[in-house]
Amino acid sequence: MNLFVWINDVFLKMTWLYDSVGTVLGWFGLTHDSVLGAVLHFFLYDTIKIFILLSVLIFTVSTIQSYFPPERSRRILGRFKGIWGNLIGALLGTITPFCSCSSIPLFIGFTSAGLPIGVTFSFLISSPLVDLASILLLASVFNWKIALAYVVVGVLLAVFSGTIISKLHLEDQVASFAFNKPAFELDEETLTRKQRVSFAVDAVKDIVRKVWLYVLIGVGLGALIHNVVPEPLITGLLGQDKWYSVPLATLVGVPLYADIFGTLPIAEALVAKGAGIGTALSFLMGVTALSLPSMVLLSKVVKPKLLTIFAVIVTIGIMVIGFLFNAFGLGLL
Amino acid sequence: MIIKVLGTGCPNCLKLEASARIAAKELGLEAEIVKVTKIEEITAYGIMRTPGLVVDEKVVSYGKVLNPTEVKVLLEKVSAPGRLSGV
């Protein structure tokens, strides 16, 4: 076994955890012969794995993120024109920390600094959709090829949607106060190493507090899908040969609000039971990229026409990605 | 002294407001604490991350949920020159 496979199995897939959970359940007579045993095995293994990965990943990622506060991203973005602005915006979106309750100040902070709204949208789309932690999590649940493919299409979706929004010249669709120059100039703060560590520790606590319930619900649903829902039902509705599976998964996912940590176990179980990989990714992207709560927030600065265009473009993009993965993605599994 | 807490009302903003109250009380400052929740007013201060803390119209912190001790340090820094000139 080569080193890479070993590292992957031990640290990302945690095969040892899978085996030990199975052994412990075996002591209680709960083997895979019973539905309860199988459900518990999936639930316990996935919950423990996700919380371990979540803590380690968020800590590492937040430390990297502490070097890219939105103030710095805004300054970097000011240097790029046209589609490069969208591309860099999408890439910075993957590493800039921001909580959803800050999306409006961030939106205004970008536009008031003179950044094109398309660039801001590229940033806002990629930020929840593709983050560093989600890449490693996808590699753990599926594999590296899927994780990298996900990142590439996620960033492309953000660049593409932002570019269209730029081309449509919808500046009049943004509340006028968003263009006002702020009355105050802020100094960019520099952090000491100790402050970065405490920033990262706070981020781990904050995110665990925010997502633990979603993770438990997600893993619970995943365990049920994995072991209780009959396979023909999944393949019939969501199989990769069913054209309607992608729109169905996308439209179910879009209004839902959850983050990638809670959604992945569901996607994992769906794929294991015969859903298309594109179908599962569409669901995942629909849940993370768009949600009713975030739309309500955005509606405070963005008028309905632009909001609708934004939602429609992203939804169509997610479906296109789903169809492409179902058509060509099997080789990745 | 006027202390403003900038934030649309998310849990973090409420925590910061509580910290500010405790800090002002413990320092014995005559401070009025104002909550700024309108997005237009928040962004006029140029911050991109809430919650923000503004003391006498100067942004002293943003994007951080400070505990009372941290707020005290900031308040002491801001109010120190005033005390000196008063002597």
B35 by DSSP, 3-state: which?
A: strand
Q: What mean pLDDT is predicted for residues A170-183?
A: 79
| Domain boundaries along the sequence of chain A | 3-170+196-332
Chain B hits for A69, CB-CB cut-off 8 Å, are 49, 63
C-alpha angle A34/A233/A325, rounded to 5°? 110
Chain A hits for B59, CB-CB cut-off 8 Å, are 184, 186
Give residue A14's region: left, alpha or beta (phi > 0; psi -120 to 50).
left
Q: What mean pLDDT is predicted for residues B13-25?
A: 90
Give residue A184's region: left, alpha or beta (phi > 0; psi -120 to 50).
beta
Residue A288 has pLDDT above 50, yes or no: yes
Query: How distant is the Cα of B71 from the closest Cα of chain A, in angstroms?
Result: 16
Q: What mean pLDDT is predicted for residues A207-236?
A: 85
> Which of B2, B8, B10, B77 is flagged as catalytic?
B10
Tell me what percent of the residues of chain B surpass a pLDDT of 90. Answer: 20
pLDDT for A192 equals 81
Please say whether the beta carbons of A120 and A193 come within 8 A: no
- Structure-block tokens of residue A3: 């080193």
In this complex, the residue of A102, A183, A184 whose CB is nearest that of residue B49 is: A102
pLDDT for B4 equals 93
Per-residue pLDDT tens for A178-204?
Answer: 787 765 666 666 778 888 888 888 888
Q: Does A112 touch chain B (CB under 8 A)?
A: yes
pLDDT for A333 equals 67
Per-residue pLDDT tens for A257-286?
Answer: 777 788 888 998 999 888 889 999 999 989
Tell me what percent of the residues of chain B surpass a pLDDT of 70. Answer: 91
Using CA coordinates, name the residue in chain A closest to B49: A102
Please say whether the beta carbons of A186 and A231 come within 8 A: no
With CB atoms and an 8 Å threshold, state whether B47 touches A105.
yes
In this structure, of A63-67, A101-105, B45-49, the range with the lowest mean pLDDT score is: A101-105
pLDDT for B80 equals 66
With CB atoms and an 8 Å threshold, state whether B10 touches A180.
no
pLDDT for A161 equals 93
In this complex, the residue of B8, B40, B48 whose CB is nearest that of residue A109 is: B48
Using CA coordinates, name the residue in chain A closest to B43: A105
Q: Which residues 181-210 of A have a C-beta within 8 angstroms of B?
A: 182-186, 202
pLDDT for B85 equals 41
Structural domains for chain B: 1-56 (3.40.30.10)
Q: Which residues of A103-134 are buried (b: 16+ CB within 10 A; e: fewer)?
A: bbbbbbbbbbbebbbbbbbbbbbbbbbbbbbb
